[in-house]
Amino acid sequence: MPKSIIFLLFILVQTLSLNALENFSITTNKKVKVFILAGQSNMEGHGLIKGKPGQKGTLETLVNDPKSLKEFKGLIDSKGDWIVRDDVWISWLNKNGKLTVGGYAGKGSIGPELGFGWEVGNYLKEQIILLKFGPGGTSLAGPWRPPSSGGKDDKPRGEQDGSQYKLLVKKTKDVLSNVGKYFPSLTEYDLELAGFGWHQGWNDGCSMQDTKEYKKNLKNFINDIRKDLKVDSLPFVIAGSGFGGWNQSIDRRLMIIEAQKSVTELPEFKSSSKYVETRGFFRDGSVSPRPIRYHWCCNAETYWLIGQGMGKAMNELLGGLDNPSPKTRKK
């Protein structure tokens, strides 16, 4: 073959190779599923971990009680220490790390993140990140107000309207695009926003006007979150505001619960959202650390069950079973 033709073939191969490189997007096989957990102080979590010896309703008591050990034994290792997950990560306030008991909720407490992280973490094969937002005393009508709901009380939208909504969207986008800043060990991973968990309602239930518009605001919230985070059918799990249990009789509280449930039954959300009934998780003050009903009496079992229920519902939305078999993972 003439040298001129060989040279031309060489140039052609080099050109094709360069074009291929320019059009090649580097991706990894390492995947991370990102879940947002948001609400107010009950999402923050006040399930007491440790109290007085034998104090009812603390996580420590539940782990040491033979009657409840089966439910909670997955939280402790062979030495009796709290397990630190190697596959579930969490960001809350300015703290980022691996999910374990405590450190990511109210002082000395757990929140729904624990049960949710354990349930979803045992089901999914991928690494998981939980982005948790739980500022106390915040309403859906006020700081969590979605853009589509406009201003509050027929007034122009003010700085406080939607302030927490904006913060959540901003931080979520930052984590998705700069994961190494929050979790250096996951720098080489590809992130996917996979689901949203919502547990909130106390503050809105303190006002009849806010209660009456809760369903509209929650519907707008789901639509706006999906739009702003660019995931059209982002799975949504809503845990009801069931504090007080089945004996709850205050009309505003019952209206909030009904609004939360009915939103998930709307045609546009029916296949991509689930409501978690929580009234059966309520434990009154006689078997709980503190008689603070709006914080679920600070009962650790209650917060665990809420998170676990949300996790099971999320697994279903992701295509799993009601009770998926735990995956095999390293201790």
Q: Residue 3's pLDDT band (boundaries 50, 70, 90)?
A: low
Q: Going by C-beta distance under 8 Å and a sequence separation of 6 or more, which residues neighbour residue 293?
A: 243, 244, 284, 285
Q: If you average pLDDT over every residue of the chain, what do you get?
A: 90
N-term to C-term CA, the chain = 63
Nearest 5°: phi and psi at 34? -105, 130
Taking Cα atoms as reference points, which of 40, 20, 302 lies closest to residue 165?
40
pTM of the model: 0.88
Taking Cα atoms as reference points, which of 31, 225, 47, 226 lies closest to residue 129?
31
For 40, 43, 199, 211, 242, the CA distances from 143, given in Å and listed in that order, are 10, 15, 15, 15, 22
- What CATH number has the domain spanning 31-317? 3.40.50.1110
Task: Tell me the pLDDT tens digit for each residue of 172-203.
Answer: 999 999 999 999 999 999 999 999 999 999 99
Task: Tell me the pLDDT tens digit for each residue of 275-304.
Answer: 999 999 999 999 999 999 999 999 999 999
d(CA 326, CA 328): 7
Q: Residue 14's pLDDT band (boundaries 50, 70, 90)?
A: low
Task: Tell me the pLDDT tens digit for each residue of 50-80.
Answer: 998 889 999 999 999 999 988 998 999 999 9
DSSP β-bridge partners for residue 131: 36, 91
Q: Does residue 121 surpass a pLDDT of 70? A: yes
Q: Express as a percent the part of the chain with pLDDT over 70.
A: 88
Residue ranges of E strands in 163-283:
190-199, 236-239, 273-276
Q: Are 178 and 109 in contact (CB under 8 A)?
A: no
Contacts of the segment 325-329: beta carbons below 8 A, 24+ positions apart: 326/122, 326/123, 327/122, 327/123, 327/124, 327/125, 329/86, 329/87, 329/121, 329/122
Q: Residue 27's pLDDT band (boundaries 50, 70, 90)?
A: very low
DSSP β-bridge partners for residue 110: 47
